[in-house]
Every structure is written in C-alpha cells, then in structure tokens.
Amino acid sequence: MRRFLVDLPAGREPRPGDRATLDADEARHLRTVLRLEAGATVQLTDGRGHALEGELLEVGKQAATVAVTAVAMADDEVAPPRLHLACAVVKGRRFEYALEKAVELGAHTITPLVCERGVVDARAGKQDRWRGLLVAALKQCGRCHLPELTTQQPLDAVLRDAPGPVHFGAAPGDLVGERPQAVTQLAAQAQRRRLEGHAPPDDLVGLVGPEGGWTAAELQGLAQAGAVPLVLGPHVLRTETAAAITLAALQEVRQAWRRGPA
C-alpha cells in the first residue's frame, strides 16, 4: 500500500491518538485515485523513520484528516551503516532519475556533486523540484526515512567531510590507489568483520562521477583520500545507471553488516 507523508510536530515522538492532516494533493489522491472514504485504514510516515497507521476521519477537497492508531519505528531502515550518495549533476531528467532510484535503494543522504566535467545546475527552484521528487519516490516505495538532500558540493569538500568509508564508481581503467573491489568482496569482508564482533561503521559513502569521467586530478584526490574504487561492470555507464548500481552495491554491504548476505 502507498504510504502517505505527513508533517507531524518535530521534537517529540508521534503516538496513537495524534491527528494528522494531509494536504490537498494527498487528499485528492485518497479521494479520486484510491476512492477511500472515512473509516478506511491508511499507512503514513513522518519521513523521520516512523511507520504510522491511521483511520481516515475525513476527506475533503483541500485536506484529509487521519487519527493515528499505531506507531512503529522502522529500525532496520534507520540503523547503521547509513548510506550516503554523492552524485555528479547531469542534464535533464537523468539526474532526477538518479534521485528517484536513490530513494528506492535506501540512500539516507544525497549530495549533488560538482565535478570538473560535470554540470553545475543550481538555478532557483531546482532544489525544491528535487526535494519534491524525493517525497514522491518515498511515498511510492513505502520508505519511512526521507533522505536528506544537501546543497551542491565540490568533490574535495565531500571527501574532506565524508562521515565514513568512501567508495567511488570506477569506470574501466580507473585504477588508482588499489585494485577495484567487487561488491561480493566488500560484502564478504563486512560479514567476516561482523562475525568477529566488530561494530558496523556508522556510514558508507558512494561517489558517482560525471559522464565525462573523473579527471586525473580527481582520481588523484580520491586515491589520497583512501577512496576505494568499486567495480560497476565491464562497460562505461551513464551517471544515473552508475548511481543506482553503486547504491545497490553498498546496500548489499550494509545488509552484510546488519545480518549477513541473504
């Protein structure tokens, strides 16, 4: 079932008995698409990791009101290691595709990355449009944590402030620092360390470059920062494809830290 995003007061945990108001767009979806009426059960989230269930009290043209009946924390979704994606901005809908897939694949933070061969697309309103896409993807895929969308950052700043181990999508030929790692290797390493009693890292960071590829200077910076090149396959990928594969790979590593490979 589609999950609806509600804006609940920050600073306290949601609880049964709370009233939640859905905006006009959400009310229209309930009324005209799902054709729900008062008394129906709906699934909600505050975007901060809480999964809520509620009873629909009223559906109007401008808003809908829901009484929260149950609250749970999506512990597995918000538990470490959290996933951070920094992706080079590319033109048109293709970057928007990368954002949507990042939500579906479990990113907790998304940073538009400024690269030497990338596109700097910081026009007024662009961040608002991107955030709207994240919200739509969140509701469609049933997640409970809305990824944080940061402002655009240059590569050196992302490397400097990285909260955990950094991996980057390596095109064929990007051999710097060490041999590229396959996701199976990284997941096996994570599982072995988990079984040895090591705590998982709080965060895993994935970097995806522009379609023109990383420059020699950027590859040098990645190597100096200790970033691990990640094998994404034998062919050169579009940026949005590389973003999805990178997150899927890191999600597999995350799950190995959490409970081992499936």
pLDDT digits (tens, 9 = 90+) for 64-92: 899 999 999 998 898 999 999 999 998 87
Q: What is the pLDDT of residue 211?
A: 84
Phi/psi for 127 (5° steps) reads -60, -40
78-258: CATH topology is Alpha/beta knot (3.40.1280)
Summarised one tens digit per residue, pLDDT across range 4-61 is 888 777 778 899 999 988 888 888 888 888 888 888 999 999 999 999 999 999 888 8
Gap between the Cα atoms of 111 and 102, Å rounded? 11
* Top-level class of domain 3-73: mainly beta
What is the pLDDT at residue 163?
A: 94
Structure tokens at 36: 């729900």
How far apart, in whole angstroms, are the C-alpha atoms of residue 189 and residue 211?
A: 30
- CA–centroid distance for 260 within its chain: 21
| Domain limits, the chain | 3-73, 78-258
Lowest mean pLDDT among 25-29, 42-46, 105-109, 205-209: 25-29
The band of 104, judged by pLDDT with boundaries at 50, 70 and 90, is very high
Instruction: Take residue 164 and report the two structure tokens written for it.
Output: 């955990």
Helix axes 126-141, 93-104, angle to 10 degrees: 40
